[in-house]
């Protein structure tokens, strides 16, 4: 017996109302997402414009040649802070790179599916999202208090702890993208696993591994909180043994921005613009390096 017109029309009306409700919800969500994006872009744009306007005023030839001035004095630069930041980030990357690459290689090549690898990934994710100030307190307890003084070595170790999880995650992800047939080809030639990893897997994922190192460098370049507890700051050039306070850009910006001296405030704006531009350049380089690898 055929269904009556009234019985078939009711489900059609219900399905039509459901579709209409979904369209309304979809449009509402699109409008909300677009509005939130515009608000975020407006806030970020205003911050960048203010940073550029204020920072460009402090860019003078002496900014990169003179050390930071004393309280209430005029002139000066941030050359000692720039050099100190380069040294601290260099120490951090030198320590973090071998640890991160080897740990990422173990997770991707040897620890697939093992409980130990799952535990390491879990701890790495926790460390990746850990507040940097806690890492600074940890290194303060581990190194600064026993040594009895702030030091560049402690600052480098703190930055290395922050950089390690970034390198580990990137290295593992890049090695997992390498086709298994390459490993099988190396094993078929009689090469041991270590030789296959070094000569085949690492070479195939080299661009991604370098990208992870660059991203880690950009991550630690602007860290302030851990350096407050480890390297602190100094208005003069650091000593060769890196003991005592070491001048660096993040802490210098923090201290000078809170000072009542206009000259210090101008140097803080210039330093903030310099470190922002550096991080931007490093991020662009990382994307350019990884682009050929992801397009293969």
CATH number at residue 120: 1.10.3720.10
Range of the domain at 111: 61-294
Q: What pLDDT shows up at residue 113?
A: 78
On whether residue 67 sits in a domain, the answer given is: yes
Residue 51 tokens read as 């940073």
- Rounded Cα–Cα distance for residues 172 and 161 (Å): 17
On whether residue 194 sits in a domain, the answer given is: yes
On whether residue 5 sits in a domain, the answer given is: no
Rg (CA), the chain: 26
On whether residue 267 sits in a domain, the answer given is: yes
Identify the burial level of 117 via C-beta atoms within 10 angstroms of its C-beta, where 0-12 means exposed, 13-18 middle and 19 or more buried.
middle
Rounded to 10°, the helix 152-176/132-139 angle is 130
pLDDT over 70 (residue 292): no
pLDDT over 80 (residue 295): no
The mean pLDDT of the chain is 88
On whether residue 275 sits in a domain, the answer given is: yes
The pLDDT-based confidence of 111 (bands split at 50, 70, 90) is confident
What average pLDDT does range 104-127 have in this prediction?
90
When comparing pLDDT for 253 and 291, which is higher?
253
**Cβ atoms 88, 248 nearer than 8 A:** yes
Give the pLDDT confidence of 63-74 residue by residue, as tens digits.
999 999 988 888
**Cβ atoms 251, 223 nearer than 8 A:** no
pTM assigned to the model: 0.85
- Rounded Cα–Cα distance for residues 68 and 44 (Å): 29
- Rounded Cα–Cα distance for residues 78 and 60 (Å): 11
Q: Quote the DSSP letter at residue 242.
A: -
Three-state DSSP class for residue 291: helix
Tell me the helix, strand and coil percentages in the chain, rounded to 5: 75, 0, 20
Q: How many domains does the chain have?
A: 1
On whether residue 36 sits in a domain, the answer given is: no
Residue 233 tokens read as 């700051």
**CA angle, residues 232, 273, 160, in degrees to nearest 5:** 40
What is the dihedral sign for C-alpha 153, 156, 161, 162? positive
What is the dihedral sign for C-alpha 217, 218, 219, 225? positive
Give the pLDDT confidence of 143-192 residue by residue, as tens digits.
999 999 999 999 999 999 999 999 999 999 999 988 888 888 888 888 88
On whether residue 16 sits in a domain, the answer given is: no
Residue at token pair 């990137």: 170
């Amino acid at each position: 017996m055929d269904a009556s017109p009234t019985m078939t029309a009711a489900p059609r009306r219900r399905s039509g109302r459901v579709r209409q409700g979904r369209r309304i919800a979809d449009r509402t969500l699109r409008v909300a997402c677009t509005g939130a994006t515009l608000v975020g872009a407006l806030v970020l744009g205003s911050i960048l414009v203010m940073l550029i306007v204020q920072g460009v005023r402090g860019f003078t030839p002496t900014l990169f040649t003179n050390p930071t001035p004393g309280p209430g004095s005029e002139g000066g630069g941030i050359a000692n802070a720039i050099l100190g930041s380069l040294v601290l980030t260099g120490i951090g990357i030198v320590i973090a790179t071998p640890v991160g690459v080897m740990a990422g290689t173990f997770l991707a090549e040897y620890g697939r599916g093992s409980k130990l690898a799952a535990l390491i990934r879990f701890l790495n994710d926790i460390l990746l999202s850990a507040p940097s100030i806690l890492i600074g307190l940890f290194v303060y307890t581990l190194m600064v208090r026993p040594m009895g003084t702030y030091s560049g070595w402690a600052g480098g170790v703190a930055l290395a702890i922050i950089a390690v999880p970034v390198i580990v995650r990137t290295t593992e992800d890049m090695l997992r993208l390498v086709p298994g047939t390459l490993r099988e080809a190396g094993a078929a030639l009689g090469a041991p696993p270590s030789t296959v990893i070094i000569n085949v897997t690492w070479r195939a994922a080299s661009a991604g591994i370098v990208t992870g190192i660059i991203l880690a460098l950009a991550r630690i370049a602007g860290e302030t909180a851990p350096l407050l507890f480890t390297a602190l700051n100094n208005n003069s050039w650091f000593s060769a043994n890196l003991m005592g306070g070491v001048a660096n850009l993040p802490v210098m910006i923090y201290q000078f921005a809170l000072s009542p001296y206009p000259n210090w405030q101008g140097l803080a704006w210039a330093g903030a613009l310099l470190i922002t531009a550096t991080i931007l350049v490093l991020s662009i380089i990382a994307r350019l390096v990884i682009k050929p690898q992801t397009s293969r």
